[in-house]
Chains A and B, each alone.
Chain A
Amino acid sequence: MTVAVILVTGVAAGGAARAAEDLPAERAMALTRLVHQDCGSCHGMTLKGGLGPALTPVALTGRSSADLAWVIARGRKERAMPGWEPLLPAQEIDWIARGLLDGRFLPAPATGEAR
């Protein structure tokens, strides 16, 4: 049991570290801004939802990053979600999908709404 927990934590931390390394820091910052500002137009700047659903790790429980990346890339035709494939390379879409799951885009506890 304990071993399993450690393993899972290890994988998650490893995943986040790898994701951060995938992109140059400048690009990672630009994409973070895009998530907050542009995705945030519909999903809220704190990702708690708006016209589109909430995108916090809790709200996305049970979703895989591959699943999320597919939706980001292709959009949802029956809803208002556009596909981002024409604007972003697959590697960056994948980075955003993993970031949504690991909570990287959430506001730091000391800032945002808590203020």
Chain B
Amino acid sequence: MITMAVKRFPLIVLALVAVAVSSCSTSTGTKDVASDRQAMVRGTGDLGLVVERADGAVVVVENTGRTALCRIDGLGDLSHASAVISRDARYAFVFGRDGGLSKIDLLGCRVVKRVIQAGNAIGGAISQDGRVVAVSNYEPGGVKLFDAGTLEELSEISARELTGANSKTVGLVDVPGRRFVVALYDGDEIWLIDAADPRQPAVRRYHNVGHMPYDAFVTPDGRTYVAGLFGEDGMVMLDLWHADAGVKRIDAGFSQSDEGERLPVYKMPHFEGVAFAGGNVFAPAVGRHDVLVIDGTNWRLRGRIPVAGQPVFTVARPDGREIWVNFALPDNGKVQVIDVARMKVVKTLEPGPAVLHMEFTPRGEEVWMSLRDADAVVVYDTATKGEIARLPMRSPSGIFFTSRAWRIGQ
């Protein structure tokens, strides 16, 4: 019985192992128990999930054999969905557009718990200790904190209550010390949220940080929070080692240049996974065919690298030698690779129509890319820059590997 189940569903939940052991040991002896157990138990370090945005589903994948393992549906509106991973790398928390927060068991291939926690949400984060999940909401604007074990709502930080006006919140990340940082798209603020007591979080507000922050990231050491400003020519940074010193603007330098007005932005740049390599930050410019290079020590613009279109994601290969860039319409069929040593584009790829997201395997030998309009995820070898696998998916968007569990600022 158990053996059959294993063949049909290789991702048997670990809890079943105990059942298998007890039932098998009576009928088949110790040796078979050991082999059955070996067949069923697996690690989670090579697992991940791919969002099928149009179907409200996620596909559980593994990046050793490069296969899809199973599909979990019923997750609502997953346009612009994202996910964070539990500290044991078994569970994923999926944040849906419709305010849905779903806790997924990657091994068991099932929804553990699902709550509709707001009318409209944009993303989330998980605390350093893995105990608190924070969700960034558009409607009602603010941040909600949840118990990562039960998804019980612990508290709500309402933009309306705190600032007097509703505001969408963007760029929510975790930073060391069970804290989170988030920016207010309509309120031009940054909040440093201390969730030491998640039922009564303390919020430190930074005002007038710049006009229309639209997304943000934190450096891999958890020290520096950087938000992009849609309404201004540049970004704003907050050094959490010197949180009393306030925020500092980073000028992108376009307003002093003779390059004219920016182009219409058909897809907002994303700071998720923004590259920090060789001491520099590589970030997408807004409405320009450029990647900005910002010095990570003094936070001044070092220069710009011209690319094939308006960048959406600028992701560093985990060793930091290369930055992979995808683009907004009408250039969303291309991916360009920047060599950090030479500070220029060295390769232009055309993986397929509508490249939405790129996720490197933990040590960067392969990259998975979702091709929304080809209904496929392709896997490229980062050394040869060639396709080595193709997995059929329906309108795939975000790809999230479990290695995110141990990274700050996810």
Contacts and interface: CB of A to CB of B under 8 A. Distances in A.
A56 to B, nearest CB: 13
A86 B330 CA distance: 10
A75 B97 contact: no
Given A36-B54, A37-B54, A38-B329, A83 B77 contact: no
A49 B120 contact: yes
Interface residues of A, number: 25
Query: Per DSSP, are chain B's interface residues mostly helix, strand or loop, or mixed?
Result: loop
A113 interface: yes
Contacts of A44: 77, 79-80, 97-98, 120
A64 interface: no
A82 B264 CA distance: 5
Contacts of B395: 37
Interface in A97-115: 112-113, 115
B56 A80 contact: no
A113 B98 contact: yes
Contacts of A84: 264
A87 B54 contact: no
Interface in B265-297: 265-268
Interface in A11-38: 33, 36-38
Contacts of A45: 53-54, 77-79, 97
Query: Per DSSP, are chain A's interface residues mostly helix, strand or loop, or mixed?
Result: loop
Interface string A29-57: 00001001110111011101111000000
A51 B214 contact: yes
Contacts of B268: 41-42, 51, 80
B120 A83 contact: no
Nearest to A87: B330
**How many B residues touch the partner, as a band?**
20 to 34
Interface string A55-91: 0000000000000000000010010101110110000
A86 B264 contact: yes
B97 A50 contact: yes
A41 B185 contact: no
A49 B79 contact: no
A40 B79 contact: yes
Nearest to B330: A87
B98 A80 contact: no
B264 A83 contact: yes
Contacts of B212: 80
B138 A49 contact: yes
Given A87-B329, A87-B330, A112-B77, A48 B264 contact: no
B267 A115 contact: no
A46 B372 CA distance: 17
- Among A80, A87, A115, the most chain B Cβ lie within 10 Å of the Cβ of A80
Given A82-B264, A86-B264, A37 B329 contact: no
- Among A38, A51, A78, the most chain B Cβ lie within 10 Å of the Cβ of A51
B265 A50 contact: no
Contacts of B48: none
A37 B139 contact: no
Contacts of B80: 41, 44, 50
Given A37-B395, A84-B264, 4 more contacts: A46-B79, A50-B79, A50-B97, A82-B266
Interface of B: 53-54, 56, 73-74, 76-80, 97-98, 120, 122, 138-139, 168, 170, 185, 212, 214, 230-231, 264-268, 329-330, 354, 372-373, 395
Kindly list the 4 A-B residue pairs having the minimum CB-CB distance in the complex, ordered from nearest. A82-B264, A45-B79, A40-B79, A83-B264
